[in-house]
Amino acid sequence: MERSLFKLSREGYDDSYRELFLLGNGHLGYEGSLPDEDGGFHLVGVYDQCGDKWRESLNLFDPLRLRVRFDGREIAFSKARLSWNLDYRRAVLRLRAEWKEGVYFEERFLSSSVDTLLFAKSRFRAKKTGRLSLRFEIEKDPHDINGPHYVSLAASSSPLSLEGTSNEGRKAKVSLKIAGLQGLKPSVSEGTPLADWEGEVKRGEIVFFERAAEALVDDERPMERFISYEDGYWDHVSERKRRFGFFFPKADGESPFLEGLYDSAYRMSVLSDYSRIASIPARGVSGQVYKGAAFWDSEMFMLPYFLLLEPDEARSLLLYRIKTLPGALKKAERFGYQGAFYAWESQEDGVERCSLYNVTDRKTGKGIRTYFADKAIHISADIVKAFSSYYRSTGDSSLFGQGAVDVIAEVFRFYRSYASEKEDGLFHFLDVVGPDEYHERVDDNAFTNYQIAFAFEDVLSDLKAAGLSIDGAFSARGISEREIRDFLSRIYLPKPDERGIIEQFSGFYEREDILPKELAKRLEDPDDYWGKYAAPTRVNKQADVVALLAIYPERFPFEVLKANYEFYLPYTEHGSSLSHVMFGILAALIGKEEEAYGHYLSSARIDLVGGGKRFAGGIKIAGSHPASLSGSFLILFNGFLGARMEGERIAFFPRLPKEIASIRVNYYAKGKRHRASFERK
C-alpha cells in the first residue's frame, strides 16, 4: 500500500479547498482557507438567532489571519504558488506558498486532546534581502448565512482577544498567543485585535513563529499556561492515534476505492467529541448549512458507523436525544399530538428548527411550503430504532435506565395519537413525509409504517432481554405492554405485491410514470427545487422503500429485496447524498457488487470530489456530508463484507467487488475490539 494514500495533496487554490482541507475535532471546525482571506471557524452545538432569520450555529472569529508584506508591498497568498497537504491520520494540514520574495510554510491543526485549541506553526524563508512585515489578526466579522450573530464585540490587545456577545446573549471569545518573534506590536485597530512585526531579512534567512488560539464559550475557563506548538502537537497526535487509529482500515485495490476509503475515514474522524453531549450536524463541522442542525442522518447513518468504530460517540448521540426529549414533547404539543415528536432539524434544545417554508424558490426568492417539520414523523421511530441498535451492538443496557425508556414511551404515545384507525381495524399513518421528501403529505408511507412497527418490536424485545419489565418501564405513563403490542400488531404494513414490490405510499403507482432524466427537462433552472416538479410523478428524491429494506434485510425475502431495488432505482434522482448509501447496501446484499461499488464511490468520495447538490432552490446546501461518508463504510461492512450479528459476534459473508483486492477492518462488537481480514479470491 502506498503511504501517500494517507495524505491528500493538491496544488493551487479554489473555493472548494475550504471544505476539502477542513479540520475538525467534533467541537470546532476550521476551513482550508488562505491565511489572508476570509476564514471559516465553526462551532458545534451553540446557536443563535438574528431577528426572524433562521437560527443557526455560531461561527467564531478566525484567529489565524495573516498578511505578509515585503519591502512595503503586500504579497497575497492568492498570487503564490501553493501546495496543500493534509495528513489524514494526524489531521494536520500543511500549506506551502511560494513567491519570488520568499517561501512561506504553515502547519495547522485543531487539537483533539483539548477541543478548544487551534495551533499553527509557520516559517518564512526569504529569497531576497528586504523588509518583511507580518500582520496577525483576529478576524472580527465571521461570514454568516443568517447573521449577524454578534451584537457587541470587545477587543483586547493584551492578551490579543476578541469576545462577542450573540443576539441570544451567549459569549464566544477567541484569544491568540504568538511566540517566536521579538518586537511584536499588539494593538486594536477599528475593533480588530492585531499584532505587527517587521524586520530586515537576508536572502536565505528564515523567520519562525508559532500561534496558539483558544476558543471559549460563556464561562469556559482559559488554559492556565501557553502550550507550545510542539507540546500541543504531540498531545494531539497521540490522542488521534488512540481514538482514530482504529478508523483507518488497511486495504488494497484500485485507487478510487482507496481514496474514498481513507478520505471518508478522515472526515468521520473529525466529527466526534463525546466529552460534550451534542449530536453531529448534517454538515458535520463545516458550518451553518442546514442551520448546523442534526437530522435522522445521526441515527440512521452515523450511529451504525460509530457503533462499529467508536461506541462512546454512538452513546453520546443517544444521550443527546434523551436530553432533548423536552423539545420533542413541545413539538408534539405544537402540532396537536401527544408524546414526543422529535425535531426534523434539531439544535441543542431539541426544538423544531425546520421552517414550514424550508426551501426557497430559485426565481422569486419566496419560501415554498414544505412539510418536513410537521409530517416527517419517521424521525421519532428512527430514534427508537437507534436505541435498539445501540443495545444490540454494545450489549450495554444502561441507557434504558438513563432516560431511554422515557423517550420510547413518549414516542409510543406520539404515534398512538397520530395514527388513524380505519374500517379495516388497522392503524394507518396518514398525511406524512417519508425519506423521499419530494412526495409530501402521502398516506401510509411504507418506510414510516414499517419503521414504527419494527423499531418498537425490536426495542421491546431488547428491554426484555435486558431484564426490564415493559409494564414496569411504561406504567408511569399509564401504558401497558398489552396496549403496545396490540397497537403494533394492528399497524397497516403494505405487503409486497405479486411482483414483490412494496408500494412506497398509497397511490404511488398512479403517479406519472416518468424518469428523473425527463423530469430534469421541465426545470426552469438546474438548481430549482425538484420537489415542485417531482410530486405528481414517480420520481423519488432518495431511497425510501429501499432504505427500509437496507435497514431490515433479514425481515424480507431475497426476491423482495431484489424486486424493489430494481423497481425503484430508475425512479430515483439521488437528490440527497443519503440515497446512494441505502441503494449501495441493498445492491451488495442482492449480489449486484458492481452496482454497489458505484454507490460506494458516490458515497465515500463525495467530499473529495465536491459532490452532492450545492443548492436546493435558493438555499445553499453544500458542505461536508457525514451521513454519506459513514454510510459508505456501511456499504462496505454490511454490504461487501456481509456482516451480520449472530449472537455475541459478527459473522461475515463477504463478496468483494473486483476493485477491492483485500481489506482489513477494525470494529467493536459487544464492547470488545475485533479485527477481520478479507481477500478477494
Can you give the binding site for ligand BGC, defined by CB under 6 A? 282, 290, 295-297, 435, 437, 541-542, 576, 578, 627
CB 253 within 8 A of CB 659: yes
* Min separation Cβ 623 and ligand BGC, Å: 10
Q: Where does residue 198 rank: exposed (0-12), middle (13-18), buried (19+ CB within 10 A)?
A: middle
* Min separation Cβ 625 and ligand BGC, Å: 7
Taking the least distance from each CB to ligand BGC, the nearer of 246 and 295 is 295
Taking the least distance from each CB to ligand BGC, the nearer of 68 and 546 is 546
* Min separation Cβ 338 and ligand BGC, Å: 25
CB 305 within 8 A of CB 317: no
Residue type, 117: L
Distance CA 18, CA 6 (A): 19
CB 596 within 8 A of CB 581: no
Taking the least distance from each CB to ligand BGC, the nearer of 346 and 394 is 346
* Min separation Cβ 579 and ligand BGC, Å: 8
Taking the least distance from each CB to ligand BGC, the nearer of 171 and 613 is 613
Other Cβ atoms within 10 Å of 38 Cβ, number: 14
Interaxial angle between packed helices 626-634 and 579-589, expressed in degrees from 0 to 180 and rounded to the nearest 10: 0
CB 263 within 8 A of CB 605: yes
Taking the least distance from each CB to ligand BGC, the nearer of 176 and 282 is 282
Taking the least distance from each CB to ligand BGC, the nearer of 175 and 347 is 347
Taking the least distance from each CB to ligand BGC, the nearer of 335 and 615 is 615
Taking the least distance from each CB to ligand BGC, the nearer of 389 and 628 is 628
Q: Return the closest-CA partner of residue 412 out of 339, 492, 463, 319.
A: 339
* Min separation Cβ 578 and ligand BGC, Å: 5
Count Cα neighbours of 140 within 13 Å in the Cβ-side half-sphere.
16
Taking the least distance from each CB to ligand BGC, the nearer of 137 and 436 is 436
Distance CA 327, CA 451 (A): 22
* Min separation Cβ 158 and ligand BGC, Å: 44
SS3 readout for 95-126: EEEECCCEEEEEEEEECCCCCCEEEEEEEEEE
Name residues whose C-beta falls within 8 Å of residue 298's C-beta, 6 or more positions apart in sequence.
279, 280, 317
Taking the least distance from each CB to ligand BGC, the nearer of 297 and 595 is 297
CB 101 within 8 A of CB 128: yes
* Min separation Cβ 293 and ligand BGC, Å: 8
And the C-alpha cell for 623? 458542505
DSSP 202-255: -TT-EEEEEEEEEEEETTPPPPSSPPPHHHHHHHHHHHHHHHHGGG--EEEE-H
* Min separation Cβ 192 and ligand BGC, Å: 35
Q: Which helix (H) or strand (E) holds 639?
A: none
* Min separation Cβ 621 and ligand BGC, Å: 7
- Give strand pairing partners of 83: 11, 96
Taking the least distance from each CB to ligand BGC, the nearer of 229 and 529 is 529
Q: Return the closest-CA partner of residue 115 out of 38, 56, 46.
A: 46
DSSP 582-613: HHHHHHHHTT-HHHHHHHHHHHHTTTTTT-S-
Distance CA 582, CA 562 (A): 13
* Min separation Cβ 109 and ligand BGC, Å: 27
Taking the least distance from each CB to ligand BGC, the nearer of 197 and 583 is 583
* Min separation Cβ 373 and ligand BGC, Å: 12
Q: Where does residue 457 rank: exposed (0-12), middle (13-18), buried (19+ CB within 10 A)?
A: middle
Distances (CA, A) of 446 to 225, 496, 581, 584: 58, 10, 19, 20
CB 600 within 8 A of CB 636: yes
Q: Rounded to a whole number, what is the largest CA-CA distance in the chain?
A: 90
Taking the least distance from each CB to ligand BGC, the nearer of 299 and 462 is 299
CB 127 within 8 A of CB 203: yes
* Min separation Cβ 525 and ligand BGC, Å: 18
Taking the least distance from each CB to ligand BGC, the nearer of 92 and 629 is 629
Taking the least distance from each CB to ligand BGC, the nearer of 359 and 479 is 359
Q: How would you classify the pairing of strands 81-87 and 359-360?
A: unpaired
Distance CA 409, CA 474 (A): 6
Taking the least distance from each CB to ligand BGC, the nearer of 491 and 627 is 627
Distance CA 236, CA 424 (A): 61
Other Cβ atoms within 10 Å of 107 Cβ, number: 19
* Min separation Cβ 576 and ligand BGC, Å: 4
